[in-house]
Structure 1
Amino acid sequence: MLGVIGIIISLALLMYLAYRGITVLILAPLLALLAVVFSGNTPIFASYTEVFMANFAAYAKTYLPIFMLGAIFGKVMDDTGAAKSIALTIANKVGKDKAILAVVLSCAVLTYGGVSLFVVTFAVYPIAVELFRAANVPKRFMPGAIALGAFTFTMTALPGSPQIQNAIPMAFFHTTAWAAPILGIVATIVMFGLGMMWLGRRSKKAMEAGEGYGDHHDGNIEVMDESQLPKFTVSIIPIIAVLALNLFLGIYFGSQKAEYLANYNTSISSVKGIWSLILALVLSIIIAVLLMRKNLKNTLKTLNTGAISSLLPISNTSAEVGYGNVIKTLGAFSLLKSAILAIPGTPLISLAVATSVLAGITGSASGGMSIALGALGDVYLQKAVALGINPEAFHRIASIACGGLDTLPHNGAVITLLGITGLTHRQSYADIGMCTVVIPTLAVIICIILASFGVV
């Protein structure tokens, strides 16, 4: 019982202290070892060097290329002006009278194409300000619109998304980024449809009551010289390349026997998704640089900055994985594991609960999912085989579930988004929370029901 209390205290402190601004690089090992101390019979230093650091390194070994290449791709799209060109073109096509829809679609296209969430926010914000001002839509709805487009369906649900939240389950369930396409599309329709309905009704009601854009200083805005941006037709090519190459390479690698992988204690089914995404990103970066080299002031600086910017995110997530695996070794964890797996109904329910709760505690979709799958991924794969459930369903449910409670108020992306837009939790979190917590949770429930009937 003391061990269980230690795990609960450790998790509570992880959530609270992360919210207070202490980096998870410090918190994860210390709080993991705190739980070890409560367990009473587990060696402390061995837990750190042989469990925490071993799993930290193993996670980095698998996912560092995706984090790094994704960051480089996003930086290239940002520095060339391609991201702004795409967002501006979509906004112009949709029309300034549909400001919220224009912002959501702009964020969605960029995120689905592999541009990082933070780059998308910075790229779209100046355009969103212009659109919201012109349509006199209250600015407090802007964070909700950006979050709906960037933090929800394109991050976790749409098949083929190169975002890390869709990549992590591949190694555990031997799938690709295109896993469970029907479930993904259904979840996308739910999140996009209900999110737009919520923001549309809320903004309309506010405007009918006489509320307009408001008096805002609108800092952090760079003046765009539209004539210097690459053309939309050129800017969109790398986005299309990421998705198309990821699909075709996944099919190609999946068709290979690759018996030599037995020498590395793995199989082609375990690595085909990772390999296809890595190569798709590499080729798309090359395509983007070649097509828009005139728009890059310093190509080497762009590549270096993108690569370096990936180190903190991968380190944070690796630390959370190390933390989860230390907890996994404790005797008390077997009690919590049994409680999770004993949740009535299909194991898809317990997977969704575990992933969502841990994402909420850590304030990180990728971190929470990595902890959950690191501790229970092998169990769920065995259940999939034993119960005849397609592993792709587990992939998609885990991915969608991690994008629910992760965006509670202490989430770093939420805090950054509010900082960029110059708004507060009080002004805008109700709409962020509805679009990124409540509606995605509903989408998970619907997908679990469909998956229970064999839909993937």
Structure 2
Amino acid sequence: MLGYIGLFAGLALLIWFALRGVNIFLASVICALVVAIPNGIMLPAALLEHYPFGPLGAYTFAGKFFLLFLCGAIFGKAMATSQAAKSIAVAITRGLGTRHTLLVGMVVCALLTYGGVVVFVVVFTMYPLGITLMREANLPKRIWCAATAIGAGTFTMTALPGSPSIHNVISASALGTDLFAGGWIGLFAAAIMAGLGMWYVEREWKVARATGEGYVENEQDRRMEQLIGDPDEAPSWGLAIVPLIMVLGVIMLPRLLLGMGDWSADDGLLARTLLFSAAQPIIWPSIALIVGSLTCAILFGNARRQIGKVFGQGAEDSVMPLLNTAAVIGFGGVVTQTAGFGEFAQWILGVNLPPLLSVFASVSTLSAIVGSSSGGLQIFMQTLAPSYLDMGVQPEILHRIAAIAAGGLDSLPHCGAVIATFMIMGLTHREAYKDMFVVTVVVPVIACLASIGLLMLLGIGVNPPA
């Protein structure tokens, strides 16, 4: 009983710390101790083994995925410094107009994140531009926040095949699949997320207009608006989109070529390169992101003239997101050593649910506990995924369904990404969390359950018992 009390107290305390804005490193270590001590885990084992270096250790995760975070942050910095990201945003804004302000926010964020630009760079890029749009359209900020969250934090993050997102890479690395695994069901889920999400925010805007709710400026808006700069200094949108095309091309072209024939290492350098790309779910997307960064340096003078500074600042920008995620996973590494977690794992595997629904339940629960989709997904892949493979769940389907499920209940109020987004936009949970909850929790959950329902209806995704 004492062990269960410690487990739930540690989880509750982690959520409370997150909502209070306590540093995640301190919070995760303190909460790990709250879990460990009542469960009889000795301090040296908790702090020097399970938290840092175990299969779910913070440093284990950071070491494995450091290169991907590094290359992603460098690419995001290159796109921001060159103003290529801003150019794309401005071009789409001019093309769609303020009447479609919400669609502009969603499309730009989706395009940038699918192309490999990290979420926080996208938010910083879009919000100063969004201020102008919100002012012109008299759009409440809470609704703009939700629209950008649809593009940056839902379907491009977990559902769309081929994306170099950390969720896609975690699944591919753990299961031996590639970034395109379960592609068709991912497209189905993405369509639901985008469609339902946009329907909701457009409906909310209509209600806001009817009730007289509109845009209200605050001090944060005035500070952020200074970051817009001169649009005339940005490259043309046609040139600005080339780095994104390069990233996606490097990822997708090998997949297309591999599908056109049988290749072996004896077929020459091209064949060996193609086979290498398929076998390296971490290295290959990282290479693609570096190709995109170098493309920025070649095409855009303001990035080329300070390439050392851009790459250096990008490397520095990668540290905090990597360590924040690693800290949550380190806490999970201690949790997984408790008897309570073992009993939870046995219970969830023993519940009389179809395997894919059981996958949804287990991944969703883990993501909700740690307030992180990537953290919950990594814990699932390390602890429970092998059992589902033994049940006959096909690796490609497990890859995609687990990734989609991770992006649902992760966005509870203590989610770090939610808190950071509200801080950037000068919003509070009271003002904006209802809309964020609908588009990043309710809609992804519906999309995941609908995808599972379609797979079950078609009778695919789970191999029949031998």
TM-score by length of 1: 0.90
Match in the other structure for 1:46: 45
CA separation of 1:253/1:23 partners in 2, compared to 1, >3 Å: closer, same or farther? farther
Q: 2:141 aligns with which of 118, 136, 139?
A: 139
Match in the other structure for 2:20: 20
Cα offset, 1:23, TM superposition: 2.7
Pair 1:345 & 2:353 matched: yes
CA separation of 1:242/1:344 partners in 2, compared to 1, >3 Å: closer, same or farther? farther
Pair 1:36 & 2:36 matched: yes
CA distance in 1, matches of 2:431, 2:36: 41
Unpaired runs of 5+ in structure 2? 267-274, 462-466
CA distance in 1, matches of 2:421, 2:32: 30
CA distance in 2, matches of 1:421, 1:6: 36
1:162-177 to 2 correspondences below 5 Å: 162-177=164-179
Pair 1:451 & 2:450 matched: no
Query: For the Cα contact (< 8 Å) 1:60–1:318, is it kept in 2?
Result: yes
Deviations 1:214-239 (CA, angstroms, capped at 9, x unpaired): 45452211243111101111111111
CA separation of 1:135/1:335 partners in 2, compared to 1, >3 Å: closer, same or farther? same
SS in 2 for 1:178: coil
Q: 1:369 aligns with which of 369, 372, 377?
A: 377
Greater mean deviation of Cα atoms: 407-416 or 112-121: 407-416
TM-score by length of 2: 0.88
1:91-240 to 2 correspondences below 5 Å: 91-217=93-219, 218-219=221-222, 220-221=224-225, 222-240=227-245
Query: For the Cα contact (< 8 Å) 2:175–2:399, is it kept in 1?
Result: yes
Q: 2:82 aligns with which of 60, 63, 80?
A: 80
Greater mean deviation of Cα atoms: 323-332 or 87-96: 323-332
Q: How many residues align?
A: 443
Cα offset, 1:295, TM superposition: 4.5
Greater mean deviation of Cα atoms: 370-379 or 174-183: 370-379
CA-atom RMSD, angstroms? 2.5
Deviations 1:137-187 (CA, angstroms, capped at 9, x unpaired): 333311111111111111111111212122211111111221111111111
CA separation of 1:381/1:32 partners in 2, compared to 1, >3 Å: closer, same or farther? farther
Match in the other structure for 1:411: 415
SS in 1 for 2:282: helix
Unpaired runs of 5+ in structure 1? 259-266
Pair 1:432 & 2:431 matched: no
Misfit runs of 4+, over 6 Å = 251-254, 267-270
SS in 1 for 2:437: helix
SS in 2 for 1:158: coil
Pair 1:241 & 2:234 matched: no
Q: Structure 1 counterpart of 2:62, which letter?
A: A
Cα offset, 1:282, TM superposition: 1.9
Cα offset, 1:332, TM superposition: 3.6
Match in the other structure for 1:422: 426
CA distance in 2, matches of 1:125, 1:59: 31
Query: For the Cα contact (< 8 Å) 2:296–2:303, is it kept in 1?
Result: no
CA distance in 2, matches of 1:319, 1:433: 24
Query: For the Cα contact (< 8 Å) 1:170–1:270, is it kept in 2?
Result: no
CA distance in 2, matches of 1:203, 1:247: 37
Cα offset, 1:113, TM superposition: 0.7
CA distance in 2, matches of 1:253, 1:65: 25
Cα offset, 1:356, TM superposition: 1.9
1:313-392 to 2 correspondences below 5 Å: 313-383=321-391, 387=392, 389-392=393-396
CA separation of 1:21/1:210 partners in 2, compared to 1, >3 Å: closer, same or farther? closer
CA separation of 1:302/1:257 partners in 2, compared to 1, >3 Å: closer, same or farther? same
CA separation of 1:332/1:410 partners in 2, compared to 1, >3 Å: closer, same or farther? closer
SS in 2 for 1:179: coil
CA separation of 1:216/1:3 partners in 2, compared to 1, >3 Å: closer, same or farther? closer
Deviations 1:226-273 (CA, angstroms, capped at 9, x unpaired): 111011111111111111211234577995669xxxxxxxx9799522
Match in the other structure for 2:311: 303
Greater mean deviation of Cα atoms: 430-439 or 218-227: 218-227
Q: Structure 2 counterpart of 1:31, which letter?
A: C
Query: For the Cα contact (< 8 Å) 1:176–1:250, is it kept in 2?
Result: no
Query: For the Cα contact (< 8 Å) 2:255–2:278, is it kept in 1?
Result: no
Query: For the Cα contact (< 8 Å) 2:303–2:310, is it kept in 1?
Result: no
Q: Structure 2 counterpart of 1:229, which letter?
A: A
